[in-house]
Amino acid sequence: MGRGRRERIGVGDWAIAVGMAGSLLIAGVSRQHPPSPADPLGYAALVADGLALAARRRAPVLVLAVTAACALGYQAVGFDVPAVAYLFAVYAAMRAGHRVATVACSAIMLAVIPPALVVSPHHWPVADAFKQTRDVLQLAWLIAAGAAGEALRQAERRADEAERTREETARRRADEERLHIARELHDSLTHQISVIKVQAEVAVHLAGKRGEQVPEALLAIRDAGREAARELRATLDVLRDDGKSPPHGLAHVPDLVERTRATGLNAGLTIEGRPLTLPAAVDRTAYRIVQESLTNVARHAAAATASVRITYRPHALVIQVDDDGPATSDTTPVPGVGLLGMRERVTALGGRLRAAPRTEGGFSVHAELPVERTT
């Protein structure tokens, strides 16, 4: 799990590495061997062998090569110390899925250690050098380390597959439930709302044809029917969306502003700063904020103009939508469903939303969405 990204070297990794380096150094000091001018090199190889394990999760193949080279180095200068650090490196490399590199490196070690023992200050006979290789590499433990790493890798892979299966099952059930709800809404509400809307429009038309004054209540019913039909269609579109079509993002805001102008509202768009590559959730939320704000202006603000300003900052995306609707003394407007939805979206992303009347008149929606830079 998490094998696709580079692991950080933590305190625990350094603790294991330092402990291993200390153990190898103590083992090297305690082993009797003929004094040699190369002894400092052997001690350095023992310490480096242990410290290399700190990066075993971050760069397992490199650590495998380094521990193998260090083991060959201190064996060649006469330190008869088992290659324990190499066993840890084998486990880490196998767990990371580098089976070919691990097997190849171990085969090279089996072939190279006997000559290293022959030329060491111990001057092992060739036959004894091959026997000693078994003790240096601890062959039984070498096989066990590789098998343990592979077993854990397979267990993690199966756990990942099981998690993906659960997520896919949950998504499929959610899609089925969404489509079921859409069918129920379509069957139960669409027809009834259409009847109400048509009847109200017919009544308004007949009243106007007869020269009668159309009652305000009838006009309200007609307008409410139209609005309910639009909202229901939008809701059904969302429920039927299977995720295959790309979601709307900031790239679609210019088209949104153009469609708003077509309704008679003088809408303008300003983009400031250097555009960033946004996370999908931030991109969708930003579009929804602009969409809902312009929709509210067109429906409720009695405004002539609206301005949309999108500002890219180093670590944030700022969206502001202002309109020039009539001034109001009400500084605490009752939030509608659209405003609540915007606030929930922004809060879920760790951002801030301010929506309030402007002192000079009109209404202002200001949202700040955090954006983490990706390198």
Q: How far apart are the first and last CA of the chain?
A: 22
Residue 147: what residue type? A
Distances in Å between the Cα of 320 and the Cα atoms of 120, 180, 259, 353, 356 are 75, 37, 18, 10, 12
Determine if the pTM surpasses 0.95. no
User: 137: part of which helix (H) or strand (E)?
Assistant: helix 126-137
pLDDT at residue 310 in the model: 95
- pLDDT digit string, tens, across residues 259-304: 888 878 889 999 999 888 888 888 888 998 998 888 888 776 578 8
Torsion angle, CA of 283/269/272/315, rounded to 10 degrees? -20
Q: Which portions of the chain are predicted below pLDDT 50?
A: 1-5, 244-245, 329-337, 374-375
DSSP state of 139: H
Distance CA 355, CA 366 (A): 6
